[in-house]
């Protein structure tokens, strides 16, 4: 998919989400809707979902689309853990080169994980998108997904 088409699809996703989430005050309902909209808008999104921070430095699976993922990921492990720990997006073009990558699905080739930062910079969780295509995520994906997560965290500053 070329970058111009991607930009257009992201704009449509944003518009639909603005309408769908209008007045919604339940975080899980919002996350489920975001995961569904994203997953079905891009054919290179093969696993799309959220992990929620639960307890001390632990991510527990939340709403997602795709085959089952790991249920729990400590902050110390995997790409998701690195995003939660560093509070920085992790864009990984080749998962085999990322030390500590958790291979929940053998078909994953690349991935992007964006932290959800709430009030006071608390890590509410992460958005994880995995692709069966190598180097699937561009700077545009990163910017769009970061904007989407920032918007979600503004709506739900405490999760
Ligand atoms: N790729 C992730 C885990 C993926 S899932 O279980 C869907 C990681 O290494 O953090």
The DSSP result for 91-132, as a single string, is EES-GGGSTT---SSTT--EEEEEEEE-GGG-EEEEEEEEES
What pLDDT is attached to residue 121?
Answer: 92
Torsions phi, psi for 72 (to 5 deg): -135, 135
Does the pTM of the predicted model rise above 0.75?
yes
Mutate to test the pocket of ligand 1, among 91, 104, 131 (most ligand atoms within 8 A of CB): 104
Mind listing the pLDDT tens digit for each residue in 1-15? 899 999 999 999 999
What pLDDT is attached to residue 55?
Answer: 86
Mind listing the pLDDT tens digit for each residue in 58-88? 999 999 999 998 999 999 999 999 999 999 9
Mind listing the pLDDT tens digit for each residue in 15-49? 999 999 999 999 999 999 999 999 999 999 999 99
Quote the tokens at residue 158.
């405490």
What pLDDT is attached to residue 100?
Answer: 84
Cα(46) to centroid(ligand 1), Å: 12
How many residues are listed for the chain in this entry?
159
Cα(22) to centroid(ligand 1), Å: 30
The closest residue, in CA terms, to atom 7 on ligand 1 is: 69
């Amino acid at each position: 998919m070329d970058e111009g088409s991607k930009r257009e699809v992201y704009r449509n996703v944003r518009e639909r989400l603005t309408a769908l989430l209008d007045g919604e005050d339940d975080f899980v309902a919002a996350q489920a809707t975001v995961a569904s909209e994203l997953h079905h808008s891009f054919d290179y999104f093969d696993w799309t979902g959220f992990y929620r921070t639960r307890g001390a430095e632990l991510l527990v699976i939340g709403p997602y689309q795709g085959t089952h993922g790991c249920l729990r990921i400590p902050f110390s492990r995997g790409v998701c853990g690195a995003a939660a720990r560093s509070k920085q997006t992790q864009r990984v073009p080749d998962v085999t080169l990322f030390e500590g990558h958790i291979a929940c699905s053998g078909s994953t080739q690349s991935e992007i994980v964006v932290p959800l930062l709430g009030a006071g910079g608390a890590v509410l969780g992460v958005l994880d998108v995995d692709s069966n295509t190598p180097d699937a995520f561009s700077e545009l994906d990163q910017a769009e997904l970061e904007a989407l997560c920032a918007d979600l965290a503004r709506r739900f500053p405490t999760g």
